[in-house]
């Protein structure tokens, strides 16, 4: 299984500001995924990030709001831009394992005031 | 479009009793099915998966799940619950043609001493 770390683990931000979340994997992976988990809810896929290409965003998520970088096969960042209280969520990065399962990072708990 | 339903928001069980957390799915083609557990303030941990083969799959921490194609179900089970099993459980499905993992709404398991 992959070991995934995320920074920061949590943050409290003011509305209108931006936060960049980092995701580091201990092995090279082709695809990385970013999810959002709003309070008390399930996980929703934000986008899929492949190294060397633009991220693919799911319906309801746009690049201007959630820009993603994928500079190499072990690292990705997700930025939450121009934040509002509705962006308060846990953000998780994920990678595919060798047997079709996905592994998840510990998450970044974001609170926007 | 694929979907997952977890009909129970919460399941309560006494320690030592068997537990079942229900999951039904809808997907085109053959399903890849997964169970994840989320402990408070933690990321998601992979428990078990069904890809092909034996309908009864065994996973971590003594959990198992039974794939039932005719009922499109993949219920999570454990013969004897522990208080430490108390957590949020998510069922997820992926079709065998794509990469997107779709999650159910989650079921909170409460095991009482």
Q: How many CB atoms lie within 10 A of CB A59?
A: 6
Rounded distance between C-alpha atoms, residue B112 and residue B99, angstroms: 38
Q: Are strands B10-14 and B107-112 parallel, antiparallel or unpaired?
A: parallel
Per-state percent for chain A, helix, strand, coil, to nearest 5: 5, 50, 45
Measured distance CA(A67)–CA(A61) in Å, rounded? 10
pLDDT value for A28: 93
Give the pLDDT band of residue B95 (cuts 50, 70, 90): confident
Contact B93, B105 (CB under 8 A): no
Average pLDDT, chain B: 93
Expressed in angstroms, the distance from the first to the final Cα of chain A is 36
Based on its alpha-carbon atoms, the radius of gyration of chain B, rounded to whole angstroms, reads 13
Could you tell me how many CB contacts below 8 A there are between chain A and chain B?
45
Please answer yes or no on whether B51 and A99 come within 8 Å at the CB atom. Answer: yes
**In this complex, is the C-beta atom of B100 within 8 Å of any C-beta atom belonging to chain A?**
yes
Q: What is the mean pLDDT of residues A16-28?
A: 96
The residue-averaged pLDDT of B64-90 equals: 97
Does pLDDT of A68 surpass 90? yes
Percent above pLDDT 70 for chain B: 97
Q: If pLDDT is split at 50, 70 and 90, which confidence band does B54 have?
A: very high
What is the Cα–Cα distance from B20 to B10, expressed in whole angstroms?
A: 11
Categorize the per-residue pLDDT at B12 as very low, low, confident or very high, splitting at 50, 70 and 90. very high
* Average pLDDT of span A50-60: 90
> Does the distance separating the beta carbons of B43 and A104 come in below 8 Å?
yes
Nearest one of B107, B46, B50, B109 to B81, comparing CA atoms:
B109
Q: B-contacting residues of A 32-91, CB under 8 Å?
A: 33, 41-43, 45, 48
Interval A8-36 mean pLDDT? 96
Residue A97: pLDDT over 90: no
- CA gap A104, A34 in Å, rounded: 9
Could you tell me which residue, B43 or A25, shows the higher pLDDT? A25
Q: How far is B14 from chain A (nearest CA, A)?
A: 24
């Amino acid at each position: 299984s992959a070991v995934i770390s995320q920074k920061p683990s949590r943050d409290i931000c003011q509305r209108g500001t931006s936060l960049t979340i980092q995701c580091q994997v201990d092995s090279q992976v082709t695809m990385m995924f970013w999810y959002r988990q709003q309070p008390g809810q399930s996980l929703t896929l934000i986008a899929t990030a492949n190294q060397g290409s633009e991220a693919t965003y799911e319906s309801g998520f746009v690049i201007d709001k959630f820009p993603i970088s994928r500079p190499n096969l072990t690292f990705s960042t997700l930025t939450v831009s121009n934040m509002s209280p509705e962006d308060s969520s846990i953000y998780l990065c994920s990678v595919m394992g060798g047997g079709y399962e996905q592994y998840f990072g510990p998450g970044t708990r974001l609170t926007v005031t | 479009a694929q979907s997952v339903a977890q009909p129970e928001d919460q399941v309560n069980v006494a320690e030592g009793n068997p537990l079942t957390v229900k999951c039904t799915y809808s997907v085109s083609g053959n399903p890849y099915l997964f169970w994840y557990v989320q402990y408070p303030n933690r990321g998601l941990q992979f428990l078990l998966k069904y890809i092909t083969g034996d309908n009864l799959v065994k996973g971590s921490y003594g959990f198992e799940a039974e794939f039932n194609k005719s009922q499109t179900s993949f219920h999570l089970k454990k013969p004897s619950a522990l208080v430490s099993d108390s957590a949020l459980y998510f069922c997820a499905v992926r079709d065998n043609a794509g990469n997107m993992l779709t999650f159910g709404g989650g079921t909170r398991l409460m095991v009482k001493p």
